[in-house]
Structure 1
Amino acid sequence: MKTAVAAPVLTLAQARALHLSAQGLLARPRRRARKADLLDAIARMQLLQIDTIHIVARSPYLVLYSRLGAYPQAWLEELLAQREIFEVWAHEACFAPMSDYLLHRNAMPQRAHHWAIRNAQAHRSSSGAKIERLLEHIRGLGPVKSSDFEREQAGGGGWWGWKDEKRWLEAAFALGELMVARRENFHRVYDLTERVAGSVVPDWNTARLDIATVRRETLLKSVRALGLTQARWIADYYRTKPRLRDADLDPLVEQGALLRVAVKGWDAPAYVHPDHAAALALAATGRLRASHATLLSPFDPVVWDRERASEFFGFDYTLECYTPEPKRRYGYFVLPILARGRLVGRLDAKAHRREGVFEVKALFLEEDVVADEALIADIARAIDDCARWHATPKVDLQRCRPAILRTPLRAALRALQSA
């Protein structure tokens, strides 16, 4: 008879370390980043969410910076133009490794509930003939940008008040008829899928994965990206439905495709991908230690699930850029502060690129965080490093909570800037 192996029991700190290790946020990078490291980081996360707000660096650049340190932002666009990555609607609009193209293409049916797919299907239904003419235009004349088409009238409805051609381009992109061939000044350049994926993915339009295979693969990829997760958090990573229960994962545990572990203080089991078995063993013996301090994007995978961030870090994070200003608690584009395995606070920042100033309008520590000398040094270094990468090396620290933090943090920042 086969002897059952007792499941590891982790402390919450050990669980967090495993999560951050999988996400590439456990330790400070040991060397200067190379372009290949960007692709590795995206593959590790599976998905890199896209957002256009650029009060500081746009989110996808910042997510990569948090893991890799300083690197040329142009590398991300180069990977896209080189067909190493592609854009797709998954969690939201995301970059994903081109090696996963067939999985995403065959996942369309399980994403039918996504708002972007529903909108695209509605536009395809109401404007199909016009979209076909647009596709023929691209087929004959080559890739296009939205700006290639003049707006016929001001205003308009639909997606963010876009002109018709932009809505048609986005609909065809969401449904997989068009892809983003490259970006110019972060604006999408659209081309036929057969010319983008078709140039690098064999059988791009004929290879079929059944629904069960797609569901299994996205589930396992989600767990691997998260490092450690409860069942109820898995579906959100690729925006699939329904939420999973522990019973849904029993067959994968029995097959050895997932490892089930316990975390002290949690009333539900957690799951680890076998690829992280070695890291799990280190975590369980306290040898997987978080030492990195950095600023995170509001769209970082670590915080994009509010419930998960609360369970892992005791950190209640709400994105407030879409909240009316009088109702904001913290600010417009607030960056979580990661320090040695904890989310210790958040700051409202703006990069004034022309003046070379990185403005910290307000910095808030979590109520249970003690601002000792080591933490102040970690936060100062995280801010200074990020400011230098933005080419805004002068840090203007304004308000802090608690207010007593402002003087020592300013002193620590001055010491770094004068070094």
Structure 2
Amino acid sequence: MPATAADAPDAPAHRLTRAQARRLAVRAQLLTGDRPTELLDVVRHLTVVQLDPTAAVAPSVDLVLWSRLGGSYAASDLRDALDAGSLVELHMMARPAEDLALLRAEMAAWPGKDTPTSTWPSELRDWVAANGGCRQEILALLRAEGPLPVPALPDTCVRPWRSSGWNRGRDRVRLLELMVGRGEVAVVGREGRDKVYDLAERVYPDDPVVPLAEAEAERDRRRLRALGVARPGRLVVPGEPGSVGDAGEPAVVEGVRGRWRVDPGLLAAVHDEVPGRTALLSPLDRLVLDRRRAVELLGFDFALEMYKPAAARRWGYWALPVLHGEELVGKVDATAEAAEGVLRVDAVHEDAPWPREVREAVDAELEDLAAWLGLEPLRLDRR
């Protein structure tokens, strides 16, 4: 009998082989041969797409969407969806605007409650209160003038943000980020590298707010649907909670210790072969972003190496994972050199020797990537 979230702790769990778990994960991420066709449908299913600015090949968000939608996707499609309001930016993620109804209760409860081990919520609340004058000036100016870039907004914080790292000297930026978390302002675009803000009430849909507990449970369900198989209490999804809670049904994976949660909607196809294709992924793709999960479920050893010295890199600055069918089989070290008009391929790393059909499929995918970027492939890996 299948288990449910309401089952007792010792309820029977679904038993999955690693191949089956891998199959579910690939299906859940929309990376099979049955490609989706609509941008909004992809983002709805994935729940969020990370808006990381690194663009060694293309911005991560564009690589994620291209790897699902193919050459029919253009970067302008995302910008158009954000401008039209069908997608919104929140915490460096593109999300469906209708999902804001699931987040407004969390914003109203910002920053949450202290725990026995952390007073961080109180510290955030106190810092925003200490800079209440700057906050009110920002709100008043946006109300009067409409959307404005960060440099045009007041920078009158009286209590500095305590940081010895990235946020040092960025009090205004940090305050704006916290005001986003409070549901007061929203990101509506960019001017160069500067975010443009407006009042959230002008940006977010005026849909009924879903109560917090119900919203959290629904977000857990959607997060699990996008992953297929996940640990109940440990996820790596920037800008999102680190858990799927009790969503789905319990599972164990052959050869992997511990319990998992599985999306029951995928179980009917657990024995079906994945309609395969070859895909080049962003290194921030959700299929590989959780490095530990990638090793445990997918047998894939990978790390983002852009912060390592060049001599210490194994695969490359912005290496693209290679998916063939339902298996991750290697990495491609490539860089878009727009000024030269080429997609430079420095290395193709085979995790195990590839048969000819895989090599040809990867070559074809590199040709497609170059064409999508409007570049010519330059295969330095073959010299």
Measured against the shorter chain, the TM-score band is: 0.7 to 0.9
CA distance in 1, matches of 2:350, 2:168: 38
Task: Give the C-alpha shift of residue 150 in structure 1.
Answer: 10
Corresponding residue number in structure 1 for 2:99: 100
Change (3 A) 1:9 1:290: farther
* 1:9–1:262 contact (8 Å) kept in structure 2: yes
Query: Any idea what the Cα deviations from partners look like across 1:241-273, whole Å, max 9, x if unmatched?
Result: 6x67xxx74xx6xxxxx2334433233344332
Q: Give, as a single letter, the amino acid of the residue that structure 2 aligns with 1:11.
A: T
Change (3 A) 1:7 1:386: same
User: SS at the partner of 1:240?
Assistant: coil
Q: Are 1:23 and 2:24 counterparts?
A: no
Query: Any idea what the Cα deviations from partners look like across 1:160-198, whole Å, max 9, x if unmatched?
Result: 56655444433322432111223455753210001111x
Change (3 A) 1:145 1:96: same
Q: Give, as a single letter, the amino acid of the residue that structure 1 aligns with 2:207.
A: P
Corresponding residue number in structure 2 for 1:385: 368
Task: Give the C-alpha shift of residue 59 in structure 1.
Answer: 0.7
Corresponding residue number in structure 2 for 1:78: 80
Query: Any idea what the Cα deviations from partners look like across 1:132-177, whole Å, max 9, x if unmatched?
Result: 101111110110012446999xxx9874566554444333224321
Corresponding residue number in structure 1 for 2:49: 48
Corresponding residue number in structure 2 for 1:402: none
Query: Any idea what the Cα deviations from partners look like across 1:368-395, whole Å, max 9, x if unmatched?
Result: x221111101111121111111111x21
CA distance in 1, matches of 2:290, 2:54: 19
Q: Which moved more, 1:258-267 or 1:341-350?
A: 258-267
Give the superposed CA RMSD.
3.3
Aligned length: 362
Query: Any idea what the Cα deviations from partners look like across 1:342-383, whole Å, max 9, x if unmatched?
Result: 1111122111123220011222121xx221111101111121
Change (3 A) 1:240 1:202: closer
Q: Which moved more, 1:188-197 or 1:120-129?
A: 120-129
Corresponding residue number in structure 2 for 1:182: 189
Equivalent in 264, 267, 289 of residue 274 of structure 1: 264
Change (3 A) 1:397 1:135: same
Using the size of structure 1 for normalisation, the TM-score is 0.76
* 1:50–1:94 contact (8 Å) kept in structure 2: yes
* 2:305–2:316 contact (8 Å) kept in structure 1: yes
Q: Give, as a single letter, the amino acid of the residue that structure 1 aligns with 2:128.
A: R
Task: Give the C-alpha shift of residue 219 in structure 1.
Answer: 1.9
Corresponding residue number in structure 2 for 1:361: 346
Corresponding residue number in structure 2 for 1:14: 20
* 1:151–1:163 contact (8 Å) kept in structure 2: no
CA distance in 2, matches of 1:4, 1:358: 49
Equivalent in 181, 201, 206 of residue 201 of structure 1: 206
* 2:319–2:331 contact (8 Å) kept in structure 1: yes
Q: Give, as a single letter, the amino acid of the residue that structure 2 aligns with 1:132.
A: Q
CA distance in 2, matches of 1:69, 1:362: 23
Corresponding residue number in structure 1 for 2:323: 338
Corresponding residue number in structure 1 for 2:67: 66
Map 1:126-145 to 2 at 5 A.
126-145=130-149
Q: Give, as a single letter, the amino acid of the residue that structure 1 aligns with 2:176.
A: L
Q: Give, as a single letter, the amino acid of the residue that structure 2 aligns with 1:229.
A: A
More helix by share: 1
* 1:16–1:312 contact (8 Å) kept in structure 2: yes
* 1:262–1:269 contact (8 Å) kept in structure 2: yes
User: SS at the partner of 2:189?
Assistant: strand
CA distance in 2, matches of 1:158, 1:314: 34
Change (3 A) 1:236 1:363: same
Q: Are 1:309 and 2:315 counterparts?
A: no
* 2:34–2:275 contact (8 Å) kept in structure 1: no
User: SS at the partner of 1:15?
Assistant: helix
Task: Give the C-alpha shift of residue 106 in structure 1.
Answer: 2.2
Task: Give the C-alpha shift of residue 46 in structure 1.
Answer: 0.6
Change (3 A) 1:274 1:201: farther
Q: Which moved more, 1:60-69 or 1:222-231?
A: 222-231
CA distance in 2, matches of 1:355, 1:120: 47
Change (3 A) 1:330 1:183: same
CA distance in 1, matches of 2:183, 2:57: 31
CA distance in 2, matches of 1:161, 1:60: 27
Task: Give the C-alpha shift of residue 67 in structure 1.
Answer: 0.6
Corresponding residue number in structure 2 for 1:372: 355
CA distance in 2, matches of 1:300, 1:328: 19
User: SS at the partner of 1:268?
Assistant: strand
Unaligned runs of 5+ in 2: 4-11, 157-162
Q: Which moved more, 1:103-112 or 1:138-147?
A: 103-112
Q: Give, as a single letter, the amino acid of the residue that structure 1 aligns with 2:363.
A: A
Change (3 A) 1:119 1:43: farther
Task: Give the C-alpha shift of residue 4 in structure 1.
Answer: 7.1
User: SS at the partner of 2:93?
Assistant: strand
Using the size of structure 2 for normalisation, the TM-score is 0.83
